[in-house]
Structure 1
Amino acid sequence: MNARPAPVHVALVGCGAVAQLYYRPALETLEREGLLRLTAAHDPDPVALDTFGDSFPSARRLTRFPEVLAISPQLVIIASPPRYHPEQTIAALAAGIDVHCEKPLAPNLAEGERMVAAAVEAGRRLSIGMVRRHFAATRAIGRLISNGNLGPLGSIDCFEGTPFTWPVRSVDFLRPVAGAAGVLQDIGTHCLDLLTWWLGSPS
């Protein structure tokens, strides 16, 4: 009988809305199953840090990003505001840590390519949180397109809209200023990812 592998030691960077709504339930489940251990959570906002950290009593609460690297987790989840993604991701990779980065990966192509190059150079894994590929509906649409059931494809219109109920602590999500992504870059990445997944990357 094979021994169960030791849990992966994980640190979470950014304890805002996406961490609270999506990562916290997933991390709780995976920790309960013995697949990972959240060793640290980081956020410069002590209120956000404590709100998230209360769900993980054994995790260290860190207010400075270098402290995350100093404890050498096996995996860092970057869930901070998008303007910090390149700097934090590259620093973690250079420290020999695998990274899962929330979308949007980077504010522009050049920064994204720098992040990928850093992963290759360090020999570490870099993944991005594009989750909609895993939805049953998007997989079904992909099959319809690839099977030709829809006939010749002339155009695709993307519509987004739900009640905004996120527990945000700033308005950066709504405006592309000061390095923030803004709604189009933050939500539009989902549409672009699905289009390239269904149809292939443009030549």
Structure 2
Amino acid sequence: MRLGIIGAGAVAGLHAQGADDIAGLSLAAVCDLKADAAAKVAEPWGAAVYTDYRQMLAAGVVDAVVINTPHSLHKEMVLAAAAHGVHVLVEKPVATTLEDARTMEDACAAAGVVMVVGMIQHFMAEKLALRTALDAGRLGRVLMVHDYRSTDYRPGSRPDWFFDKAVSGGGAFINIGAHCLDRSLWLGGAPAARITATVLNRFGSPVETDGTMELLLENGVQLRITIASDCPNNIDEMLVVGELGTATVDPRRGTFMEIDGERTVLHTTSPHDIQNAFTAQLADFKAAVGGAAPAVSLAHASHVVELVLAAYAAAETGTAVELAPVPVP
């Protein structure tokens, strides 16, 4: 399978390395508006360089693409790929509206191509270690999840498009919050039934820089997500409280469980964890193209977008938003 990458941003190199690591997959082309950025990712693998994704698709040099671009651009690129019979792995969030997400899904289904949404948290070793422990019943029933993450949304701290709501769809919630919602719903074990939220716009930012979300999942699990900008130390930690004990997950340290005063190490962080996750995600995508069910369903990816939008509505009105039950696939 010949892979193309559209958007030579921060994780493009991880996708490129992943393609080289997987038998039957090769990096064929990289596209970015900046030719030098595309070339930096492409050259180690001898891949072609493009500055127009339409030309890359029309050239017939790829069988599948990774779309790694600003959020609101996903729709037009997915539709173009589908029109050329090219399979798609689109980075989260899948879109900035549910209508766009449905349009993308329908277009790929009609064209007979596979669309998978890149939700990298499902492939991170420290999250998988906890998921395995939960599936084995080691913590009993999950009761509560707290997801606490820092970021930096000071203007100038990241590319300008992140601060343009028409392009990004919002600020810290749709970017960092999408990761938190994804992994917290996954570990919490159910879709959300209700959400409340608050946001802060600091530093003169036109999009939210900080905020909290509180959710009740359909299975009764209580979930709280906190995102804070410009912290003294980087924070990326989940706390899961179960009937029998607790667990913490931190990609910089690992996964730890405590039951009745006894601490167990479930995973110790390795320098290879992030690359391994991106490689595993690409392998999952390749398997989906071959007919397997992907690790992350399109329904889950769309529910994450639904919750981000509901959080914005809840923050604006100061009232809870009730969610319709998510159909079981």
Same fold (TM over 0.5): yes
1:71 CA drift (Å) = 2.0
What is the aligned partner in structure 1 of residue 4 from structure 2? 11
Maintained 8 Å contact 1:16/1:169: no
What is the aligned partner in structure 2 of residue 180 from structure 1? 168
1:201 CA drift (Å) = 2.1
In 2: Cα distance, 1:50 partner to 1:136 partner: 30
In 2: Cα distance, 1:93 partner to 1:106 partner: 16
Distance 1:66 1:23, change over 3 A: same
Among 38, 46, 50, which residue is 1:49 paired with? 38
In 1: Cα distance, 2:42 partner to 2:125 partner: 32
In 2: Cα distance, 1:159 partner to 1:141 partner: 17
Among 15, 19, 35, which residue is 1:27 paired with? 19
In 1: Cα distance, 2:20 partner to 2:135 partner: 37
Maintained 8 Å contact 1:42/1:68: yes
What is the aligned partner in structure 2 of residue 89 from structure 1? 78
Question: Is 2:89 the counterpart of 1:100?
Answer: yes
In 1: Cα distance, 2:96 partner to 2:39 partner: 29
Distance 1:44 1:158, change over 3 A: same
1:185 CA drift (Å) = 0.9
Distance 1:114 1:151, change over 3 A: same
What is the aligned partner in structure 2 of residue 5 from structure 1? none
In 2: Cα distance, 1:200 partner to 1:128 partner: 19
What is the aligned partner in structure 1 of residue 56 from structure 2? 68
- What stretches of structure 2 of length at least 5 have no aligned partner? 193-324
How high is the sequence identity, in percent, across the aligned residues?
28
Distance 1:29 1:142, change over 3 A: closer
SS of 2:5 mapped into structure 1: strand
Normalising by structure 1, we get a TM-score of 0.79
Letter in 2 for 1:25: Q
SS of 2:27 mapped into structure 1: strand
Letter in 2 for 1:50: A
- What stretches of structure 1 of length at least 5 have no aligned partner? 1-7
1:142-157 aligned at under 5 Å gives the runs: 142-146=131-135, 149-150=138-139, 153-157=142-146
1:91 CA drift (Å) = 1.3
In 2: Cα distance, 1:47 partner to 1:183 partner: 29
1:142 CA drift (Å) = 2.9
Distance 1:162 1:169, change over 3 A: closer
Aligned length: 187
Q: Which of the pair has more CA radius of gyration?
A: 2
In 1: Cα distance, 2:41 partner to 2:129 partner: 35
What is the aligned partner in structure 1 of residue 316 from structure 2? none
SS of 1:194 mapped into structure 2: helix
Letter in 1 for 2:79: I
Question: Is 2:190 the counterpart of 1:200?
Answer: yes
Higher strand content, 1 or 2: 2
Higher helix content, 1 or 2: 1
Letter in 2 for 1:63: T
Question: Is 2:129 the counterpart of 1:136?
Answer: no
Distance 1:188 1:163, change over 3 A: closer
